């Protein structure tokens, strides 16, 4: 009895694409010499599974091509052949053909692909004989669409559930409020303990104690259940960063081959999970930054040897969770950022005058790489050179309420450190007060928190400054930045100061009070606040009060233009 293929095709295609993605990533581990015997076993098992299911469903062409690839990797494991550049290209061409087969299957239910050239040359390669790739199609430049629906549950339904759970936060606040009210009632009852009504009041007091205890427990249980439910629902819309990073060994290999460079790519922490919407935004960030590093940052083998380096350049992407955020470090050991070139280009293109350019700090000059249309490349290629890319990186990271910091040393390389929240719906932040108003500062923008005595504030040319990490930095008052009247600034003997950063800028901001860091559920801005770019969202505190989340990059820009305040 023939198998009803229609029932199994969708699952077969999904598993086939997963297996080809796994095979492709392991090819580059083998190429870079970081594979293990287990990797070979995993790779051969994936090919064997693909071959077996193809035979069962009678997809003969995919079965035959899978078998040919299996023979090549078996020969590689037994060290009968070596992985030359042409061998890598032949294997990648064959994997592309498998992917094409799955796409055709999706449309036509048949694996109508041309495999003869691939099978013939793979067989020659497995036998350690001469083979040719001249008649085979070139590398595919198609990039996996990270915006495809990869979560089986509708994202719209998940978002609706998240909003409902966020609304349940009011139940926790109500329970806490009830507990406070019952405690206040107990105090009033005790004030009448010496009156003739004391016996009845004692009964009321006992009832009040029970009510207070129940309210406290209800507040704790409600809060725990809401947070647990929220975390579980949020996890439904998270994906591992490997969703986008698995494509990059192939992408870097292709770019470096096109540019005549030798580059080793190392990726760490790609198993970390993050919100799907952020994954989609990071896709563009990674593409621009990796392309920039390969084209601008890393040198050709000849230039590297002249500089006393290994001819193979190193590019690494490291991902880790830190303080409720995802920390991404992208670094290379290339030529670094040439600050003199940036200074000259900024003057030539009218970004800054010659006198002012001479006074620009390293941080100021580095920030020019984020300007739209700014590029120090002498030529325009199909890879880069038009000054489009890093400005997109900055805008995208800002839209995710994240931050990026650049550290570069000429001749040694460049490191970008990116911090983005794990979820657009939640963030770690510090509740602060300023002139009786409550705000939240996202934790990923905070370097340090200090409590300073008034005599620790310096006055330099009539402006307040503080000493931080062996440097003098301007002290900004949040009330001045936001143009809020605040008399407490002039009367308080101690001042809370938050050291914040955005890109390579650092600033000290004084506030009236600050609370410990906590996880908060972020809500969208009300319509009347949507046009205020100093805020990125709101949260609801225990007193049913809205606390606005400050958009730190905007606050940093405003701090440079705020009027100075003499508080001494």
Q: Is residue 439 part of a domain?
A: yes
Q: What CATH number is attached to the domain comprising 95? A: 1.20.120.160
Q: What CATH number is attached to the domain comprising 441? A: 2.40.50.180
**pLDDT band at 69; cut points 50, 70, 90:** very high
pLDDT at 217 over 90: no
Kindly give the pairing relationship between strand 458-460 and strand 546-550.
unpaired
Q: Is residue 268 part of a domain?
A: yes
Query: Same structural domain for residues 270 and 379?
Result: yes
Give this prediction's pTM: 0.61
**Which segments of 309-438 does DSSP mark as H helices, in order?**
339-348, 354-358, 362-366, 390-399
CA distance 176 to 253: 57
The answer to whether 168 touches 233, Cβ cutoff 8 Å, is: no
Percent over 90 (pLDDT), the chain: 17
Query: Same structural domain for residues 369 and 430?
Result: no
Q: Which of 126, 143, 172 is the last residue of a domain?
A: 126
What dihedral angle (degrees, nearest 10) is formed by the CA atoms of 155, 401, 539, 561? -150
Query: Same structural domain for residues 314 and 202?
Result: no
Query: Same structural domain for residues 458 and 396?
Result: no
pLDDT digits (tens, 9 = 90+) for 94-113: 999 999 999 888 888 888 88
pLDDT at 172 over 80: no
CA distance 554 to 427: 18
Query: Same structural domain for residues 249 and 356?
Result: yes
Q: Which of 206, 236, 266 is the last residue of a domain?
A: 236
What is the domain count for the chain?
4
Q: Is residue 414 part of a domain?
A: yes
pLDDT at 454 over 90: no
* Full residue range of the structural domain in which residue 499 is found: 426-559
CA distance 96 to 139: 8
CA distance 383 to 94: 25
Q: Is residue 150 part of a domain?
A: no
Q: Is residue 567 part of a domain?
A: no
Query: Same structural domain for residues 253 and 194?
Result: no
Query: Same structural domain for residues 267 and 372?
Result: yes
CA distance 303 to 162: 53
CA distance 65 to 149: 28
Percent over 70 (pLDDT), the chain: 77
Residue with tokens 């402006």: 463
Query: Same structural domain for residues 181 and 320?
Result: no
Query: Same structural domain for residues 266 and 355?
Result: yes
Q: Which of 191, 213, 236 is the last residue of a domain?
A: 236
pLDDT digits (tens, 9 = 90+) for 128-156: 998 887 766 544 433 444 344 444 455 56
| Mean pLDDT score of the chain | 80
Those residues with Cβ within 8 angstroms of residue 218's Cβ, 6 or more apart along the chain or in another chain: 175, 178, 179
Those residues with Cβ within 8 angstroms of residue 387's Cβ, 6 or more apart along the chain or in another chain: 371, 372, 373, 374, 375
Burial class (CB in 10 A: 0-12, 13-18, 19+), 142: exposed
**pLDDT band at 383; cut points 50, 70, 90:** low
CA-to-CA dists, residue 538 to 173, 427, 457, 498, 534, angstroms: 16, 11, 32, 20, 12
Q: Is residue 145 part of a domain?
A: no
pLDDT digits (tens, 9 = 90+) for 245-272: 888 888 888 889 888 999 999 999 999 9
Query: Same structural domain for residues 383 and 260?
Result: yes
pLDDT digits (tens, 9 = 90+) for 6-61: 777 888 888 888 888 888 888 888 887 777 788 888 888 888 888 888 887 888 99
Residue with tokens 């606390």: 547
| Residue 416, helix vs strand vs coil | strand
Q: Which residues pair with 451 in a beta bridge?
A: 496
Of 23-32, 62-71, 422-431, the one with minimum mean pLDDT is 422-431
The predicted pLDDT at position 442 comes to: 85
Of 6-15, 32-41, 183-192, 322-331, the one with minimum mean pLDDT is 183-192
**Which segments of 168-275 does DSSP mark as H helices, in order?**
169-191, 198-236, 242-245, 248-259
**pLDDT band at 209; cut points 50, 70, 90:** confident
Query: Same structural domain for residues 436 and 497?
Result: yes
Query: Same structural domain for residues 464 and 411?
Result: no
What dihedral angle (degrees, nearest 10) is formed by the CA atoms of 140, 143, 149, 152? 60
Selection from 536, 295, 542 nearest residue 403 by Cα: 536
Number of other residues whose CB lies within 10 A of the CB of residue 328: 26
The predicted pLDDT at position 528 comes to: 67
Q: What is the 3-state secondary structure (H, E, C) of 289-316?
A: HHHHHHHHHCCCHHHHHHCCCCCCEEEE
For 69, the token pair is 């690839």
Q: Is residue 137 part of a domain?
A: no
More confident residue, 201 or 309: 309
CA distance 444 to 433: 19
For 21, the token pair is 């993605």
pLDDT digits (tens, 9 = 90+) for 535-566: 877 776 555 567 888 888 888 888 876 554 44
Q: Is residue 144 part of a domain?
A: no
What's the residue count for the chain? Answer: 568
The answer to whether 353 touches 472, Cβ cutoff 8 Å, is: no
């Amino acid at each position: 009895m023939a198998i009803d293929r229609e029932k199994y095709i969708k699952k077969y295609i999904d598993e086939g694409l997963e297996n080809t993605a796994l095979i492709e990533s392991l090819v580059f581990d083998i190429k870079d010499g970081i594979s293990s015997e287990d990797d070979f076993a995993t790779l051969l098992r994936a090919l064997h599974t693909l071959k077996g299911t193809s035979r069962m469903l009678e997809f003969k062409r995919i079965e035959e091509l899978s078998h040919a690839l299996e023979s090549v990797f078996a020969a590689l494991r037994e060290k009968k052949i070596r992985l030359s550049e042409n061998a890598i290209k032949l294997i990648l061409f064959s994997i592309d053909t498998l992917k094409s087969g799955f796409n055709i299957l999706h449309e036509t239910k048949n694996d109508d692909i041309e495999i003869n050239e691939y099978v013939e040359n793979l067989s020659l390669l497995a036998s350690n004989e001469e083979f040719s790739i001249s008649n085979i199609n070139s590398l595919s430049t198609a990039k996996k669409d990270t915006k495809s629906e990869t979560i089986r549950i509708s994202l719209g339904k998940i978002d609706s559930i998240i909003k409902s759970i966020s609304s349940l936060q009011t139940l926790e606040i109500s329970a806490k409020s009830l507990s406070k009210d019952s405690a206040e009632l107990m105090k009033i009852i005790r004030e009448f303990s010496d009156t003739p009504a004391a016996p009845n009041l004692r009964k009321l007091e006992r009832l009040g104690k029970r009510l207070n205890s129940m309210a406290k427990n209800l507040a704790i249980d409600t809060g725990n259940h809401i947070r647990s439910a929220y975390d579980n629902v949020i996890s439904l819309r998270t994906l591992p960063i490997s969703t986008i990073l698995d494509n990059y060994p192939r992408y870097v290999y292709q770019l470096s081959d096109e540019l005549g460079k030798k580059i080793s790519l190392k990726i760490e922490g790609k198993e970390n999970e993050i919100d799907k919407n952020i994954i989609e935004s990071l896709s563009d960030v990674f593409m621009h930054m990796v392309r920039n590093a390969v084209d601008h940052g890393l040198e050709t083998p000849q230039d590297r040897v002249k500089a006393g380096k290994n001819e193979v350049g190193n590019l690494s992407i490291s991902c880790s969770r830190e303080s409720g955020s995802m920390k991404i470090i992208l670094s290379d050991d290339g030529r670094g950022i040439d600050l003199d070139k940036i200074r000259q280009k900024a003057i030539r293109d009218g970004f800054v005058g010659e006198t002012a350019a001479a006074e620009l700090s390293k941080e100021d000059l580095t920030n020019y790489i984020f300007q739209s249309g700014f590029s120090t490349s002498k030529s325009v290629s199909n890879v880069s050179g038009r000054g489009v890319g890093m400005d997109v990186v900055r805008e995208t990271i800002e839209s995710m309420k994240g931050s990026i910091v650049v550290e570069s040393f000429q001749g040694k390389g460049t490191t970008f450190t990116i911090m983005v929240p794990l979820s657009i719906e939640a963030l770690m932040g510090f509740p602060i007060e300023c002139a009786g108003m409550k705000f939240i500062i996202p934790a990923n923008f905070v370097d340090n928190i200090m409590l300073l005595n008034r005599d620790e504030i310096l006055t330099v040319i009539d402006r307040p400054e503080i000493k931080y990490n062996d440097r003098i930095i301007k002290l900004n008052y949040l009330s001045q930045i936001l143009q809020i009247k605040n008399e407490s600034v002039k009367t308080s003997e101690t001042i809370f100061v938050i050291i914040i950063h955005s890109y390579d800028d650092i600033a000290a901001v004084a506030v009236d009070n600050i609370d410990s860091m906590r996880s908060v559920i972020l809500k969208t801005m009300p319509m009347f606040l949507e046009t205020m770019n100093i805020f990125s969202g709101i949260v609801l505190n225990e007193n049913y009060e809205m606390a606005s989340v400050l958009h730190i990059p905007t606050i940093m820009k405003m701090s440079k233009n705020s009027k100075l305040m003499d508080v001494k």
